[in-house]
Structure 1
Amino acid sequence: MDPQLAEGRFGPVTQTDIVRFAGAGGDFNPLHHDPAFAERAGFDVPIAMGQFTIALMSAWLTDQIGVENLRSLDVDFKAPVKIGDTVSFAAEYCAPESDDSDTETAERPGSAERISTVKLTAAVDDATVVSGRATFSADDAADYASGMDSDRHVED
């Protein structure tokens, strides 16, 4: 059985969040911290790095399925996340991209491991900022989710 994936939220995003992430990742592009530079680039405020949003999304997902169960993560950036934005995360089970079946879970060839595929969305208000897909070990993730403490869930 596949684990239920709760929706999650992060925010509002602060300048401190962005600067801390820049320090961890070494991305000091002024677009992410300099309001005047961001304005010249066409933004009303500095924007978060795309990897910041993906880090939030992957943390939300792996908090529910266990990082050791994640098999793939593929994303497309759709729009920037700005200071003050609150990002919402959601997942929907779907058929594997390379499979024409209607099932959300498939066995990996040559293995007894069941792999689940989910469609991921990160949104600000009603606008999608990141979309993607993730695959993970379904059996191990279900075991992980059933043994989770309630404080490990992402809260709305």
Structure 2
Amino acid sequence: MTATVRYADVEVGTELPEQTYPVRRLDLVRYAGASGDFNEIHWNERVAKSVGLPDVIAHGMLTMAQAGRIVTDWVGDPGALVEYSVRFSAPVVVPDDDTGASVEVSGVVKEKRDDNTVVIALTARSNGVKVLARSTAVVRLA
């Protein structure tokens, strides 16, 4: 998305278009290669279950990146992101099938500041479970 969101056009309560991001085991392998995080809980079901997880889980930073993507896609400029924070509340469990899991992300403008920035509250869920808590992004708008 390359649209430019203008500060004057945004109000508290403005909703970002909800997005759904698929997460398959193949995505986890690719992310491990890109990030260097080869922890076995992200690809080995036996190891994941041995430490009390229900199955292989997605990398937390991958989940965080997907949630942030809704903001950068909405604003049209990744450089407009000023602050971004999340708290992980549950893992994204990724079954070993052709479908995998999905992360559904939504956002709403919670505050407009005098410096052309807005605070966006994000919600991320997977399989009906909230996977990120207290997730906020601050973006500078045109």
TM-score, normalised relative to structure 2: 0.82
C-alpha contact (below 8 Å) 2:15/2:107 kept by paired residues: no
Partner of 1:58: 68
CA contact 2:16–2:70 (8 Å) conserved in 1? no
| Structure 1 equivalent of residue 78 of structure 2 | 67
Which residue matches 2:5? none
Distance, in Å, in 2 between the alignment partners of 1:9 and 1:126 is: 12
AA aligned to 1:119 is A
What are the Cα deviations for residues 82-129 of structure 1, in whole angstroms up to 9, with x where unaligned?
Answer: 1122110011111xxxxxxxxx21113xxxxx1101111111133210
Distance 2:40 2:127 in 1: 26
Question: For residue 46 of structure 1, what is the aligned residue in structure 2?
Answer: 56
Distance (Å, rounded) in 2 between the aligned partners of 1:44 and 1:4: 33
Matches within 5 A, 1:142-153: none
**In 1, Cα distance between the equivalents of 2:28 and 2:60?**
11
* Structure 1 residue 4, shift from structure 2 partner: 5.1
RMSD between superposed Cα atoms in Å: 1.4
**Offset, 1:130:** 0.8
Q: Give the count of matched residue pairs.
A: 124
CA distance in 2, matches of 1:125, 1:40: 22
What residue is the counterpart of 2:47 in the other structure? Answer: 37
Could you say which residue in structure 1 is the equivalent of 2:126? 124
Structure 1: segments with no counterpart, 5+ residues: 95-103, 109-113, 141-156
Moved over 2 A (4+): none
Q: Counterparts of 1:27 and 1:48 in 2: how far apart (Å)? A: 11
- Counterpart check, 1:9 vs 2:20: yes
> What is residue 6 of structure 2 aligned with on the other side?
none
Please tell me the residue identity of whatever aligns with 2:137: A
- The alignment status of 1:106 with 2:106, answered yes or no, reads no
TM superposition score normalised by structure 1: 0.75
Number of the residue aligned with 2:4: none
Q: 1:23 is matched with which residue: 33, 42, 62?
A: 33
**Gap regions ≥5 residues in structure 2:** 1-8, 95-99
